[in-house]
Structure 1
Amino acid sequence: MQRLYRKRIVLGVGGGIAAYKSAELVRRLRDQGAEVRVVMTSGGREFITPLTLQALSGHPVHLDLLDTAAEAAMGHIELARWADLVLIAPATADLMARLAQGVANDLLTTVVLATNAPIALAPAMNQAMWADPATQANRQLLEQRGIRLFGPGSGSQACGDIGMGRMLEADELAHAAADCFDTGLLTGLHLLITAGPTQENIDPVRYITNHSSGKMGFALAEAAVEAGARVTLVSGPVFLPTPDRVQRIDVVSARDMLAACEAAMPCDLLIAAAAVADYRPEVVAPHKLKKDPTSGEGLLLQMVRNPDILATLAGREDRPFSVGFAAETENLLEYATRKLRDKNLDLIVANDVANPGIGFNSEENAVTVIDRQQRETRFSQASKGHIARQLIAFIADRYRQA
């Protein structure tokens, strides 16, 4: 269940008597470290109050599509991008029918259409409604589109009937949600990931660095573990917790990072997401450099090139499948393609860091992956966690083809 740690789950609550179980489901998801935002249909509010789910989730409950305050920031789009998983429990027959037809006439169905995250439904209805051919046709259509169904279960129902149609219990649904993050795509493989910035000392007090937060690299490490890999994460100075089941090695400078990566070799795959300083001061002052109050001149630093970590590792005899990152502020695809060629990479992930919504320190990203044949695959803006899982699936597929 550690697979739910720090996952972002949008929980949709439909209008069925089983909505009372949604409260316990929120607790179970949060107990496993997930962050939960609740979206309720108008019918759902008739069975359980938004205040209950707000208290349990720790966040205001989202209710209306045309909420003026929320829609000022395009709230339904923000929720759709935020989610790592959209789980609807209970999913009524009516809600399944609307989803099957692509109807978007309330907030929940609009979020479902707008999200790139996995979608799961926990059906809950009378046994005759579940068995009806129309419901079964909708079920098949939804599953064909990649939507997962958790249940339903069988047993006594609120109406007095006995049969299929009961919503699964909260513990069962929490386990099923965790399974959404266990792909097994990289089972048995060793993945080496670099993340964060490097720091190059000027003197004992000052250093040269960049704005990288390490969030993308750490999200990739977490996604790789979910995919079954053994992950070594070599990180520059960041303020992020170590993902579960990841071996983390902290470094400071570019030379430190190269040494740590070489010590971690061999590996099957390398993902170099770190923002490594290209240059360092030729001489590090032994004491703090003091400003000369009699001179109006600036400080002149002689800089030398740092080792190229990615090119060095991609050029080894035991070369891993190598994926680089190109963080650029202009001519993104041109510069990324050049880096792919010059560093002998299999794939490169191009990231426009000039865009404040997807650049350094942001919670979201949007990237384009370029391969050796210069084919481009774009991943639209979403949370870094979701982008990371998409990238890991894409990289695993290309690795298997290599």
Structure 2
Amino acid sequence: MLEIRFYFAGKGTTRIPDRGVYGPIISAISVFSDLKVCSSGKKKGTVYVVVGAVGASCLVAIILVILWWKGNLPGKLRRKRDVKGLDFPKGTFSLKQIRAATNDFDASNKIGEGGFGPVYKGQLPDGTVIAVKQLSSKSRQGNREFLNEMGMISCLQHPNLVKLHGCCIESDQLLLVYEYMENNSLARALFRHENNQLNLDWPTRLKICIGIARGLAFLHEESRLKIVHRDIKATNVLLDGNLNPKISDFGLARLDEEEKSHISTRVAGTIGYMAPEYALWGYLTDKADVYSFGVVALEIISGKNNNNYMPSNSSCVCLLDWACHLQQSGSFIELVDETLGSEVHIEEAETMVKVALLCTNASPTVRPTMSEVVSMLEGRMAVPNTLPELSSYTEDLMFKAMRDLRQHEQSHRFSGSQTQKSTSIQTFSSSSISENSSYENP
């Protein structure tokens, strides 16, 4: 005879199968190992063992169902630990509200796809239009970006930073709710996206450039928290209905610790926008954002993507490389987007080019602060006459590597080989790198 003892502890479940009080619930099981021979033989003993095993299995299943119902399974416990102690904004949404707003994440409401998940358009019952960023629930990287973005942007308010309405943490979902930006990203407007209906004239481009600079000046110098964004690029600048720029995507942002001159960190960002000292050695200061801004400013002027543009009649490997050569020859006007025609203000364009090249200087100490950039773009401060030496760019390891790769590609005359190499260059140069990827510093 197998003796199994159940220990009862108070009330049972209050939810299954219907709301109420049932019980008692079993809190522990003990099995005595001293078997006694039953007079009815082995057959009856076997029945008791089977019944006991089935009963124990049913009990475990009921306990697991209760734990799942209350959200206390290991996966959910881990998520609770991840978000424990975070001071969330007042606007916390339920998953039911988000599903209703986005029509259950309908594909027709999808307005973008980021490195950590899709973005959906939605509308709240009061008529407020929102953008819902859905982070991957299967990735610890998604957890980290969620916490980072919540911690950074929830305490920042500025006209040139995207506004966070709130968040949702429910079931296996991690959702961030932002203000909806009617004109999507700056990249879509600049780089002739097939669905883009915008035509950015010169005054609008100058306004956008100054707006981005103001947002970064706030992050670096004016906010209570001094923040390095680390991933400034055209896709992370959104445009509202009046084409005002707003910096978004703070998932990779870092606090700029005042007691240190820099932060040594693993590289995270987008190739083509990262400052040399940061991409090569992980040396991070707010001057890394200044460099990225300079690249974006060149893209605004030219309407060309830094990573995908390679002048056919020169040895330059990207937009920034080409801009440096044009500046040395004094023909910077070739940088200006040809679709703008004669409406370009030449002096303003020249100032923007000089500021962009100053921001992308190979030496971080030469780069201006973002408040100085704002002053120069608004004409309240003269642009220094010192221009970057051409040699500092030709010796730049990133340019040299890209140049060598392009020369190697041109040495192969087979079309199949050329196609394969071109694809690898474009894919590599436009990829986004996170802290948790397998990227290794050169």
TM-score (norm 1): 0.25
TM-score (norm 2): 0.23
Going by fraction, where is strand more abundant, 1 or 2? 1
Larger Rg: 2
